[in-house]
Structure 1
Amino acid sequence: MTTDTTPVTVVGLGLMGQALASTFLRNGHPTTVWNRTAAKATELVAQGARLADSPADAVAASPLVVVCVSNYDAVHELLDPLGDALDGRVLVNLTSGTSEAARQTAEWVTQRGGYLDGAIMAVPPAIGTAEATVFYSGPQAVFDRHESTLRVLGAGTTYLGADYGLSSLHDVALLGAMWGVANSFLQGAALVGTAGVPASTFASIAGPLIGTVNGWLPDLARQIDKGDYAARDATIDTHLGTMEHLVRESESVGVNADLPRLVKALAGRAVADGHGGSDYAAMIEQFRKPSGSRP
């Protein structure tokens, strides 16, 4: 438990909202909660939370208001009618969305009070533990004022900068990386499964390789930041030839080849743009282009 006892309001009591409110309570923060379905607050009230009668009542109860609902439209549906109720308060929006939505919400909220946009990189049971990372973006002074309160939500509390959109931007970027790894593993498991190899066996082999690829990231990042794509080991031409093997293998054993075809198509575009002899880091130029920018 921290020595900071700033009162907090949590609006939205899905599984994540309940975890947030419970964590504030455990750390000694007087906590007010509100949810459309009041029954979701029953356990929190038993832990000591106060159930507000309305969103306006919830916002009025605390200087720090944490919102965690389904999307940004729901945030505005709840808070836009409140008008001056947000005056002088800090709204921390931990709702998932886009960077554009975050910036638009900040423009509206900051006419009345302080605003931090955030993104939770954890499952509800991890909130309040060393495994939880929560990103925040917005004015440094606002984050500093409430850092000790927000830090109880996870050891990985991270301030990204003044741009309100940075948290959402990092959130969706990391989700893309997560799905990229997971989908590639599933593709591989489907392939070896055609030979009767259990997915668990493949996981024991794929895991260390994924760890090796993770070790490549700092060097890839340095190349990208410098714009230096001189080949360190294999060129994109070499990768492209190997990608063809994955496509053909998938097709020959009757496994979906859409994902490797997409990767191969991107590599082919890189070669067409003159990067056949470049390091794989040069693929960043393909990802920087908007969809449909090529015929």
Structure 2
Amino acid sequence: MGDNRTPVTVIGLGLMGQALAAAFLEAGHTTTVWNRSAGKAEQLVSQGAVQAATPADAVAASELVVVCLSTYDNMHDVIGSLGESLRGKVIVNLTSGSSDQGRETAAWAEKQGVEYLDGAIMITPPGIGTETAVLFYAGTQSVFEKYEPALKLLGGGTTYLGTDHGMPALYDVSLLGLMWGTLNSFLHGVAVVETAGVGAQQFLPWAHMWLEAIKMFTADYAAQIDAGDGKFPANDATLETHLAALKHLVHESEALGIDAELPKYSEALMERVISQGHAKNSYAAVLKAFRKPSE
């Protein structure tokens, strides 16, 4: 077999692990699977997967070992005691965790003689194997490149972030934060307009339209931030203009009896940065409220 058909082991068969294994199977890889609850492997076995009796058997079956468990602690519980049998293996860890855990696990893997890629999955299980699925990886570039054909089967958005094993977790939580912030703001907006009898689906097209405009704002702000000169020119609106508009949202929320905590949080951020002399700057200056004090 060529590298694009390298045998693969998948450890952890929750919904995501099952989706990962199924993608390898569909592409014709010899796929070995293991899960603490053996019954979760039944569907995959019916599709041609080989079920290992123990984690040691699972690791022995393939050079490339993909791990997708609920926590890093579980990962270490399952494979951390396998000792010499891990040497020479390539572990691709798609378990969700922190950047510290990614870096610490990479240090552990090096001591075991294991090549290690840490990763993060930015899609739900049904999206695995599609062109739009994004998966981030970090570790030794040559290792990533060797197994990239197999990893690309999991998603067309397979992306290498460099040698810092903490980077996938940082991208993961940052993008999830963007998602939750956006969803919370959408739902808050729905709560506002529904007081006037407007349904969520009626509001939705306008929310989508405005999200496209926001994309343009973020492109401008990203360039301002990366310029590094701290000028933050107000090409669209000044921060004091943003604050004046936001106060209307706070007022409407309170007047309508809707929870105003979300817009009040944004109000506090803006007021803090304005007090530092940024009233005439763009909204990008609010980044200063999030950075470390030393920055």
**Fold shared by both chains (TM-score > 0.5):** yes
* Aligned equivalent of 2:199: 198
2:255 to 252, 256, 261: 252
State the match for 1:207 in structure 2.
208
Letter in 2 for 1:152: L
Q: 1:3 to 1:64 in 2, by over 3 A?
A: closer
Which residue in the other structure is 1:179 paired with?
180
Aligned residue for 1:42? Answer: 42
Question: What is the aligned partner in structure 1 of residue 6 from structure 2?
Answer: 6
Give the structure 2 partner of residue 98 of structure 1.
98
Contact preservation (8 Å) 2:4, 2:147: no
Structure 1 residue aligned with 2:164: 163
Contact 2:3 2:149 in 1 (8 A): no
Matches within 5 A, 1:1-295: 4-111=4-111, 112-227=113-228, 228-289=231-292
Amino acid at match of 1:151: K
Q: How many residues align?
A: 290
The one-letter amino acid paired with 1:247 is V
Deviation at 1:153, TM superposition (A): 0.7
Q: Residues 221-278 of structure 1: CA distance to partner in whole angstroms, max 9, x if unpaired?
A: 1100113312213111111111111111101001011100111111111011111111
TM-score, normalised to structure 2, is: 0.96
Give, in angstroms, the shift of residue 71 of structure 1: 1.3
TM-score (norm 1): 0.96
Which is worse superposed, 221-230 or 58-67?
Answer: 221-230
Q: 1:116 to 1:51 in 2, by over 3 A?
A: same
Using the alignment, how far apart are the partners of 2:269 and 2:164 within structure 1? 31
Quote the offset at 1:3 in angstroms.
Answer: 7.3
SS of the aligned residue for 2:116 comes to: strand
Compute the displacement of 1:211 (Å). 1.1
Matched residue SS, 2:28: coil
Q: Describe the SS at the equivalent of 1:110.
A: helix
Output the CA distance in 1 between the equivalents of 2:100 and 2:275.
33
Measured in 2, the distance between the counterparts of 1:165 and 1:265 equals 31
- Deviation of 1:172 after TM superposition, in Å, equals 0.5
